[in-house]
Structure 1
Amino acid sequence: MAATSLLPLALFVLTSTLTPGGATTLATASGAQFGFRRSLPLLAGLSTGLATLACIAATGLSGLMLAVPSLQLAMKLAGTAYLFWLAWKIGRSGPPHLQTQLATPLGFLAGAGMLWMNPKAWAMTTGAGASFAGLAHHPAQLVTLLGAAFGLAAIVSLTIWCWTGLVLSQLLRTAAQWHTVNAILGALLAASVVPMWLQ
């Protein structure tokens, strides 16, 4: 497979993972609140969650999601509730040294679960599966290609967003500043739910 044929896929996955959304907001908030090292389990969970969704989309199982509207609705409701809960926890937290609702970093399962219940992530990986199926000669090859592409792109983009949060933490000096930034991050995470209901 020529490298030039992979360029459109690379551009797609990098663009889709770098743009702001629920996962990037969580990575930023975790970086600001807990630093890079303590955020690694969350970043690994988010990246693995997206990679596994891409693998599922490549096998065609995501077609079930598109064919059963009640399953889509149930997933949207569960995903919305989960994202609102995370947004509330982030929005109410203060400086890292205070005992707050977000007293410990979110872990691997929280990150993976956030992606598995996110209809936007399902739509993104399903679209990639349909658009780039021609790059592979066998379903197993497409599964490997999409899983690796989304997993690696997520690692890169979430690391950037987590470091952005870390930089923010160096700039914030007062409890009021921390509360304001966390409230903004919580609101952005809650707002990331809107596009999934407009589709």
Structure 2
Amino acid sequence: MNLSLSMAAFALAASISPGPVNVVALGAGARHGFARSIWFVTGATVGFTALLLLTGLGLHSITAAWPAFMDVLHWGGIAFLIYMAVMLAIDDGTLSSSGQAKPPSLLLGAGMQWINPKAWLAAAAGMGVFAGGGELGAVWHFGLIYFAVCYVSIAAWSAAGALLKTALTFPARVRLLNRALALSLVASAAYMAFGS
């Protein structure tokens, strides 16, 4: 397998697997449709790619020097996931037909990646494997491939949610989906707190 295919395979395995960002993309697609969720997808992809590139350019050495920074990100991420889970759990399940409800934003997508331990691990592991020497060409090559794969992966979760939207014509079904997504976010937060 050539280097580009290896990079793409790594990016796909890390990007398509369930995690907090993908859970939010699924919920956004179900609640707001694919087109209105694309800003979140774009933000999450840009946010992760920035993290990946900065990791390849030496961010990992800075965070190693200041472990308290990583602790703040870690516990801030847990608190944010719990907050989002509570908001999903208390939602009444009414889908707005007027389009007034706001879908998750580009900034939320980008910010979620920076508090997502899965993203930090994928960035550090990927750069360690494919650009461990810090070669600028390898860092950018991996970054470009990862951007494309990450975008398609997160968009696929949003599209899957949009396909679910037709099954969510009743508020009770939306509440059920919201609570399942909330439980998934709580499980992610619990894993971040106790499993890592």
Aligned residues of 1:51 and 1:146 also touching (Cα < 8 A): no
Distance in structure 1 (CA, Å) of the matches to 2:65 and 2:108: 27
Structure 2 unaligned runs (5+)? none
| 1:72 maps to amino acid | M
Structure 1 unaligned runs (5+)? none
Distance in structure 2 (CA, Å) of the matches to 1:192 and 1:6: 31
Moved segments of 4+, more than 6 Å: none
Distance in structure 2 (CA, Å) of the matches to 1:178 and 1:64: 43
Q: TM-score, normalised by structure 1?
A: 0.88
Distance in structure 2 (CA, Å) of the matches to 1:152 and 1:116: 19
Deviations 1:27-68 (A, max 9, x none): 000000000111111111000011111101111212322343
163, 166, 179: which one aligns with 1:167: 163
Distance in structure 2 (CA, Å) of the matches to 1:149 and 1:193: 29
| 1:91 maps to amino acid | A
Deviations 1:113-149 (A, max 9, x none): 1111222211110111111116x8x632133123212
Task: For residue 120 of structure 2, give the secondary structure of its aligned residue in structure 1.
Answer: helix
Tell me what 2:95 maps to.
Answer: 96
48, 56, 59: which one aligns with 1:58: 56
Q: TM-score, normalised by structure 2?
A: 0.90
Aligned residues of 1:58 and 1:146 also touching (Cα < 8 A): no
Deviations 1:77-136 (A, max 9, x none): 11111222222222322131289xx931111111101111222211110111111116x8
Q: Does 1:190 align with 2:189?
A: no
Distance in structure 2 (CA, Å) of the matches to 1:11 and 1:95: 39
Aligned residues of 1:120 and 1:196 also touching (Cα < 8 A): no
Tell me what 1:10 maps to.
Answer: 8
| 1:196 maps to amino acid | M
145, 152, 155: which one aligns with 1:149: 145
1:34-49 correspondence to structure 2 within 5 Å:
34-49=32-47
Sort the Cα spacing of 1:196 and 1:148 in 2 relative to 1 into closer, same or farther, 3 A: farther
Distance in structure 2 (CA, Å) of the matches to 1:43 and 1:18: 13
Sort the Cα spacing of 1:55 and 1:61 in 2 relative to 1 into closer, same or farther, 3 A: same
**Alignment RMSD:** 2.1
Aligned residues of 1:46 and 1:112 also touching (Cα < 8 A): yes
Distance in structure 2 (CA, Å) of the matches to 1:36 and 1:18: 17
Q: How many residues align?
A: 193
Q: Does 1:80 align with 2:78?
A: yes
Task: For residue 97 of structure 1, give the secondary structure of its aligned residue in structure 2.
Answer: coil
Sort the Cα spacing of 1:196 and 1:63 in 2 relative to 1 into closer, same or farther, 3 A: farther
Tell me what 1:176 maps to.
Answer: 172
Tell me what 1:140 maps to.
Answer: 136
| 1:45 maps to amino acid | G
